Amino acid sequence: SQPTPKQEPTMAPASPDVPACAGLPAAVSAFADAFVDFSVSGIFFPTNPPPPPPPAPTTFLPSPSRLVAIGDLHGDLPKSLTALRLAGLLPSANSPGSSASSTSWSAGPTLAVQLGDILDRGGDELRLLYFLRRLSISAAAQGGALLPILGNHEVMNVSGDFRFVTPQGLQEFSGWAGWYRAGLAIKRRCGGLEQPKNPFLGVPKAFPGIKREFWDGIRSRLAALRPDGPIARRFLADLPTVLVVGDSVFVHGGLLEANVEYGLERINAEVSDWIRGERGDNARAPEYVCGRDAVVWLRRFSEGFNCDCQRLQGILGMIPGAKRMVMGHTIQSEGINAVCGAQAVRVDVGLSRGCGNGLPEVLEINGGGSDVRVITTDPTEAWQYRKQKPEKSATALEKKGEVKDGLALLVRESHVLKGVEAKA
């Protein structure tokens, strides 16, 4: 059979009710996008010249002069800003002319890796995504780089699994949806513009078993984060799942032999294709980001102090030049630490107030990997944070599926929202 010809983008018809915009469609579209961005995040993105598009997922990078790693952020913008300042990526709050919301990179050629889990457990998820992307643009302009990677919570949200979403998180996405629809309306008023895709088409409007007051937030979140959704495509699709910088391997959960044999670049490319919707709007996440031993879920080398160091050494030996695996995902109540002769480095300190309000710490690697240290909060400021030592930590609840701090509070146990499907 003959392949179906690719349908050309639909153009808004010129009519007495739709101005033709006479050579201004691009300007109108840019205005609408800037209007939505600022309304949602309070941030303007540079448009003259336009910012370079995010690169395709990068897998291997040379060692920079300074390398920084920051753990899970979980929807907490104020605490994330504290960690970014601690790493020297943002000006100090006391610096002349600096502001609490500054997006100006202050670390020159530093390369910073954020270990994923930007989403869930807090109410600043969108503002965090926008902020990190704006800061990455500022970093690139100064010869540096800010590279978040994907965590299990990004994978869960693209899959429609909202078990760790908070009411505040739903409210933030409801607000985004209102502004996004307003942007669509602006673009539709200008004849000659390519008709933008409506991400809300095919998304359920009712969610039985959940309080009606949360339906709009759930629908908005599904539309934004489904494969090829506007937030997923813009902020998540270009993030790597695994990143190797010099002799350091960065991965949210961990790697096993089968992952390396499958190919790290192949994993990055296929996960990116899935988030872009190129595997189908309702395609399931690739198997190597699903399940207990997946690269974003594994805890084999991040939990406890009795790891299988021989196995870890063998896995690192499969990656040319690799000396250490840097991981997030599992909260370290004692702060950033390392086992197996510093071959397994664990950097998730439970930073977010929705996940323990842990003491901000960051990892710094200098000298091409020869000088590794932890930068911790000044003792004069440490009193305001508490180490997370509850009877059941967020990590333990997540492992057992006993989710009681997010959307599960709103849903009967037999109706936990997990993997909601949106029709294409």
Catalytic residues: 153
C-alpha dist (Å) from residue 170 to 12, 131, 136, 260:
32, 19, 26, 37
C-alpha dist (Å) from residue 226 to 202, 232, 424:
11, 7, 10
CA–CA distance, 112 with 147 (Å, rounded to integer): 6
Are 150 and 116 within 8 A, CB to CB? Answer: yes
CA–CA distance, 385 with 381 (Å, rounded to integer): 8
Query: In one letter, which amino acid is 128?
Result: L
CA–CA distance, 186 with 177 (Å, rounded to integer): 14
Structure tokens at 319: 């990656």
Are 393 and 303 within 8 A, CB to CB? Answer: no
Nearest partner of 245 among 325, 305, 188, judged by Cα: 325
Our measurement of the distance from residue 392's CA atom to the centroid of its chain's CA atoms, rounded to an integer in Å, reads 25
What is the CB neighbour count within 10 angstroms for residue 145?
A: 21
Which residues share a beta bridge with 68? 112, 364
What is the CB neighbour count within 10 angstroms for residue 298?
A: 23
What is the CB neighbour count within 10 angstroms for residue 301?
A: 26
Q: Where are the beta strands (DSSP E) in 329-368?
A: 337-339, 344-346, 361-366
Kindly report the backbone phi and psi dihedral angles of residue 81, in degrees, each rounded to the nearest multiple of 5, phi listed first.
-60, -40
CA–CA distance, 352 with 77 (Å, rounded to integer): 9
